[in-house]
Chain A
């Protein structure tokens, strides 16, 4: 059985929390004591039924204000798959929290209120999905019960969204008409929409293909830790421990260590007491090389025939995540997987109005601003473009005055 992480974009008004509550409730994932707490709560729907939205509000401030502020993670499973939901806030002032939840997701659910159709918020959420390169998108047209389960309404909104999806280069988009409140097409297929021939949301989530084939070209493993027992029996043991970031490694593969550029051959692969002949993206492993070369944390091992980009000047999309605006005069720390180096912002190319998708000239970057910049790093980075290899194409900026994570970076090009 495998695991699918997805996130939900939308606001409480679109019925986002109700949808998640419905998925958990109808898959029998809510335990009796949680249900009891729910039933005792004062918040009820107009018809007196349980308000499923309460299930996802974790913090006192969220319960008080009836909004989602931070990402909450929820877990459920069916016989086919295990799921992790990142329940992310939809309001513009919490854009950074949405990006946090979305960054590790393979699938996005975009909620559209069938009464309102594609609105500014839908455009903003879809833009973020496109920016972060989420592989699969499900557009749920919610509250179909409030538009008489109308096929015409569904088609009109779907057509409008398809134009948007083309503009944003979203690839795999699926449309599902639902009512989270009534349960139509969430877990069980709806009796109210015989015109809809597709799967319910849960069936889609269970069946969507999220596996990838082995890809030796993209073999990259950042070294996190060097295992050196230095005991009498294991005097010469030197293992490079890390998680395969992307691609696959085989025993006998020729690998290059970056940034030094030294090459060697994989002699042995270990996963604790096992010695597999090949390993793939996502696995935490220990590699042994034939030659004794200088490798430490922050270095990355890659396939020698397919080297990543190497540059100190990089053009990147940026989401600003701190209340202190971007400052071109100070030196930030850039963290790219296990590598940390100093970094300055060389140039602001443009800012994007995320409600209209217009590119604007910009002189400053504030909380939740998104756009493109050029950075200069102290050490050259061994990276891939985010579009080609998400795992090796992203980094964060840290403000060394506060130690806060202040920006998310997605590498797009080598700058001059």
Chain B
């Protein structure tokens, strides 16, 4: 009989669906962390494949920094209406108003680090025992070491030295009360895999991923969208450029790249050629060599 052979996208998809179903089977109160970025949009598609025609066995959770691109929020609300699943929003503005976190000051101020507190509060308030996220191991070297089921203590902390062995495709989701597990179904996907999957599945994305005209300023060699959330002064020169974004985060910490790619095929061609990694456009990773490891230890996604 002839040999059969799973295409790599089919294999990655099947692995992710298996992981999502393990979450559904093993946990009492899971949630899917939805940022509005392409990775969490891919997770939603995978969840449809895992559970339809049934409902998702978890709500979507969005940690809203209040500094989002308007296009992301529009997309989010439209998508929720389409899939008919529950959305829970944790607001960083609320955390600020309650005095739990303090807004950063200065030119490079961002709400990126503040969202960890809102995330942990949202997890605690809803009693979530598993949070599904769209992180990938190719993004960053601390992530390259993280398990697919990654246990966090009651302070949300990741301890890289005490990771559980993760053997074969058997996932141990047992935890004590107060702990939770972060689950990363697309750990083994690369940025290009995600784009190829989006093209294959014909998945709609927020418009900021595609080339568009926008006012930008140059900060530390990076193009930032001009917005009320960016602390600007007279040194900042606003220019009008054709740009797109490779990741979707806060307006204050996500840099754009100059691009004419307004179609998926063009974006995939650009990424295949590109010599800059995706997180190279994230100011939050530029702080130090261990920036991501430190944030993850503190409870970040």
Smallest Cβ-Cβ distance to A272: which chain B residue: B49
B165 touches A97 (CB 8 A): yes
Name the one of A103, A243, A404 contacting B164, with C-beta atoms under 8 angstroms: A404
Chain B 52-68 interface residues, beta-carbon cutoff 8 Å to A: 52-55, 57
Min Cβ gap A2→B in Å is: 6
Contacts of B174 in A (CB 8 A): 333, 398, 400, 403
Residues of chain A whose beta carbon lies under 8 Å from any beta carbon of chain B: 1-3, 31-34, 37, 57-61, 63, 69-75, 77, 82, 84, 96-97, 99-100, 103-104, 211-214, 224-225, 227-229, 231, 234, 237, 241-243, 248, 271-272, 280, 282-284, 297, 321, 333, 335-338, 390-391, 394-396, 398, 400, 403-405, 408
Contacts of B54 in A (CB 8 A): 227-229
A224 touches B4 (CB 8 A): no
Given A337-B170, A394-B168, A396-B170, A241 and B2 contact (CB-CB distance below 8 Å): no
A33 touches B176 (CB 8 A): no
Whether B21 is near chain A, meaning CB under 8 Å from some CB there, is: yes
Name the 9 nearest CB pairs between A and B, nearest first: A284-B17, A32-B275, A33-B280, A58-B141, A224-B21, A403-B174, A284-B14, A243-B18, A3-B8
A398 touches B172 (CB 8 A): yes
Given A58-B142, A280-B4, A335-B172, A96 and B14 contact (CB-CB distance below 8 Å): no
Contacts of A63 in B (CB 8 A): 289
Q: B-side binding surface: helix, strand, loop or mixed?
A: loop
Q: Across the A-B interface, how many residue pairs have beta carbons closer than 8 Å?
A: 175
Contacts of B144 in A (CB 8 A): 58, 72-74
Interface string of B100-143 (1 = CB under 8 A from A): 00000000000000000000000000000000000001100110
Min Cβ gap B165→A in Å is: 5
Return 18 A-B CB contacts under 8 Å, by A number: A3-B12, A31-B280, A60-B293, A61-B160, A74-B144, A77-B190, A82-B8, A103-B167, A227-B51, A229-B53, A243-B14, A243-B169, A284-B13, A391-B168, A391-B169, A396-B167, A408-B165, A408-B167
Contacts of A33 in B (CB 8 A): 276-277, 280
Given A321-B165, A335-B172, A2 and B11 contact (CB-CB distance below 8 Å): yes
A2 touches B172 (CB 8 A): no
Given A58-B141, A224-B25, A284 and B170 contact (CB-CB distance below 8 Å): no
A297 touches B25 (CB 8 A): yes
B190 touches A224 (CB 8 A): no
Contacts of B21 in A (CB 8 A): 224-225, 241-243, 284
Report the bound CA distance from A111 to B160 in whole Å: 26
Name the one of A58, A103, A214, A394 contacting B145, with C-beta atoms under 8 angstroms: A58
Given A2-B6, A72-B145, A100 and B161 contact (CB-CB distance below 8 Å): no
Report the bound CA distance from A243 to B24 in whole Å: 14
Contacts of A335 in B (CB 8 A): 170, 172
Contacts of A69 in B (CB 8 A): 161
B25 touches A272 (CB 8 A): no
Report the bound CA distance from A227 to B56 in whole Å: 10
Report the bound CA distance from A226 to B17 in whole Å: 14
Report the bound CA distance from A282 to B18 in whole Å: 10
Whether B266 is near chain A, meaning CB under 8 Å from some CB there, is: no
Whether B98 is near chain A, meaning CB under 8 Å from some CB there, is: no
Smallest Cβ-Cβ distance to B137: which chain A residue: A73
Contacts of B42 in A (CB 8 A): none
Report the bound CA distance from A225 to B24 in whole Å: 7
